[in-house]
């Protein structure tokens, strides 16, 4: 099996146990070779509440630093929507590197999970 198929299998395995709501949204992460994107999802209404991508961040630095900055901006956007807690869906990726930096950026903005 290819890596992308294995990642999707891991994602399905994680997703069967977590779900988001309007008060406790699920933050889903997608990581490509260049960029990282995330969105807060209300699974009850099947709506995206808020989203961010590292394409929109115009900072020089490594991909990990850019992901951390995107996490901070995402956390601030969630706070503006009066969301103080989330469920983190790592999307089948290992919780290391850019995914971990993004999560730490969200935490530094004051969001708990």
Supply the pLDDT for residue 58: 85
pLDDT one-digit tens code per residue, 70-88: 999 999 999 999 999 999 9
Q: How far apart are CA 27 and CA 80, in angstroms?
A: 16
Pairing of strands 26-31, 47-53: unpaired
Note the pLDDT tens digit of each residue in 87-99.
999 999 999 999 9
CATH number for the domain that contains residue 71: 3.30.420.100
In a domain, residue 113? The reply is no
Residue range of the domain that includes 14: 3-108
Q: Structurally, how many domains does the chain consist of?
A: 1
Query: Long-range contacts of range 65-69, CB-CB < 8 Å, 24 or more positions apart?
Result: 65/101, 66/36, 67/36, 67/98, 67/99, 67/101, 67/102, 67/105, 68/101, 68/102, 68/104, 68/105, 69/105
Residue 19 lies in a domain: yes
pTM: 0.92
Instruction: Determine the pLDDT at residue 44.
Output: 92
């Amino acid at each position: 099996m290819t890596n992308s198929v294995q990642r999707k299998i891991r994602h399905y395995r994680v997703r069967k146990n977590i779900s988001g709501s309007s008060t406790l949204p699920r933050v889903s992460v997608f990581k490509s070779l260049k960029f990282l994107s995330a969105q807060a999802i209300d699974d009850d209404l099947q709506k995206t509440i808020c989203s961010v991508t590292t394409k929109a961040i115009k900072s020089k630095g490594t991909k990990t630093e850019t992901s951390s900055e995107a996490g901070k901006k995402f956390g601030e956007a969630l706070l503006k929507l009066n969301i103080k807690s989330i469920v983190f869906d790592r999307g089948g990726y290992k919780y290391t590197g850019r995914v971990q930096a993004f999560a730490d950026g969200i935490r530094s903005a004051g969001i708990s999970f």
